Amino acid sequence: MNRQELVARIKEKKTYLCVGLDTDITKLPKHLQSHPDAVFVFNKAIIDATKDHCVSYKINTAFYESQGLKGWEAMEKTVQYIPKTHFTIADAKRGDIGNTSSQYAKTFFEVLPFDAVTVAPYMGEDSVRPFLEYTDKWTIVLGLTSNAGSNDFQQLSLSGSGTETRLYETVLRKVASWGTASNLMFVVGATRASDLAHIRTIIPEHFLLVPGVGAQGGSLEEVTRYGLNADAGLLVNASRAVIFASGGEDFAEKANEVAAAYHAEMASYL
């Protein structure tokens, strides 16, 4: 899915919600736990319940890879089931030397039909470049995350350039020069919403994937206020708050209600 198509879907549906399918098998409703294909059955019900309220789904691959072959098969069936009208993200946080990254890119762009994959930029341009070589695919690079450990590296001050700047700012500027606003997005955590205004001065046109709204306490209003641009420029992810809104047999109904509430709030901002 290219940028024009993504922007059109956001404006048509008046939502920039991304539903995170972080499907923890230990948290599935009890009535599904004995099902031989429980993860896919759960995901299918969540997708059916939320597809009218979102424009994207993000699959955190760790929850599937940890289940071995069975989990990988559930992930493959899930991404195939997601409607083609929705933007699909493999939240895999890959990144390695060039020939290895080429294989990761092939996995998520060819073997599995994702529109985007998350990438860690620590190893530099040659580790990211193989993902950027695909047409109408997106590389979503970790920019500023909201976990406590982000202070270990991302927030470090760099003074060698003559003006003090933080490491994450250098990452944003450098990575933005490797691609365009049509094939690069950046991850920016919602619990650092006030940093979005500054980030927008560095990358005003790029889409931002914003996790942390919902269970992690991020404010949708603040994220929108600081991060919205002319094309919306946001995919705000909610995972646990939506998919585990209920642990009972009404899990899909409750997921629909939460997604609809996000949709209504987002529509009021667009």
In whole angstroms, what is the distance from residue 16 CA to residue 252 CA? Answer: 20
Task: Measure the CA–CA gap between 205 and 82, rounded to whole angstroms.
Answer: 27
Alpha carbon distance 16, 223 (integer Å): 12
Contact of 186 with 141, CB cutoff 8 Å:
yes
Report whether 18 contacts 238 (CB < 8 A).
Answer: yes
Task: Tell me which DSSP letter residue 257 carries.
Answer: H
Short-list 206, 83, 82, 225, CA closest to 144:
206
Contacts of 261 (CB under 8 A, 6+ apart): none
Catalytic residue among 44, 93, 174, 254: 93
Q: State how beta strands 138-144 and 184-188 pair.
A: parallel
Query: Distance (Å, rounded) from C-alpha 215 to C-alpha 193?
Result: 15
Bridge partners (DSSP) listed for residue 185:
140, 207
Residue 19: is it exposed, middle or buried by C-beta count within 10 angstroms (0-12/13-18/19+)? buried
The question of whether 93 is a catalytic residue gets the answer: yes
Catalytic residues: 93
